[in-house]
Amino acid sequence: MKKIVALLLIVLFTSSSCEKDDICDANTPTTPRLVIDFYNITTPSVKKNVTDLKVIGEGMTEGIIFNEGSSGEAQYLANGSSISIPLKTDANSTTYSFILNSGNPNPTLIDTDKVTFNYTRNDVFVSRACGFKTLFTFVPNNPILHIAVPATKSKWMQFINIEKSNIDNENETHIKVFF
């Protein structure tokens, strides 16, 4: 009888310690990236492709990888009318250098603008498997600081417009850049 009770207790304890695997589904929305679309300054309703745009975060040596399948410098270059970049989840601002025509052999054709995005953060619980995601809201005063590098050169991004102050998904444009 004692053996049966001991066996039942062992079965009870081992089965009660099993729990469902916690795996975060790849389709679960996580911390959204900032979506930036580029437009023609002379025809503001027409999207415009950037050429060899490299985006480097402040304090970083390498750029954001836009082309996963590429290697070398090509993996860091964006050529299109839209990009998505991450914002820092542990700070209330993120600074990037946007380098247009990066790698061009003629240095006079390379333009760099430094942009700081200022925001507040809100951590939202997603699930036990996925943890938290961070949502961002641009601050009302001075949401964007934009300078040319060097300061003696003109900005290639002539106008930056915030389309959506709340960054809570990647399905919409947050910022429009006109150049």
Is 4 within a domain? no
171 within a domain of the structure (yes/no): yes
Pairing of strands 53-57, 93-100: antiparallel
Q: How are beta strands 111-127 and 144-149 bridged, if at all?
A: antiparallel
For residue range 114-161, list pLDDT tens digits in order: 999 999 999 999 999 999 999 999 999 999 999 999 988 999 999 999
How confident is the model at residue 21, as a pLDDT?
A: 61
State if pTM tops 0.75.
Answer: yes
* 77 inside domain: yes
148 class by beta-carbon count within 10 Å (0-12 exposed, 13-18 middle, 19+ buried) = middle
Model confidence band, residue 11 (pLDDT cutoffs 50, 70, 90): low
Domain extent for 100: 25-178
- Mean pLDDT (the chain) is 91
Question: Is residue 123 domain-resident?
Answer: yes
Q: What is the pLDDT of residue 68?
A: 93
Average pLDDT over residues 28-55: 96
| Residue 82 one-letter amino acid | S
Which pLDDT score, from 0 to 100, does residue 124 have?
97
Instruction: Indicate whether 61 belongs to any domain.
Output: yes
Q: What is the tally of structural domains in the chain?
A: 1
Q: Are strands 34-39 and 175-178 parallel, antiparallel or unpaired?
A: parallel
Q: What is the pLDDT of residue 23?
A: 87
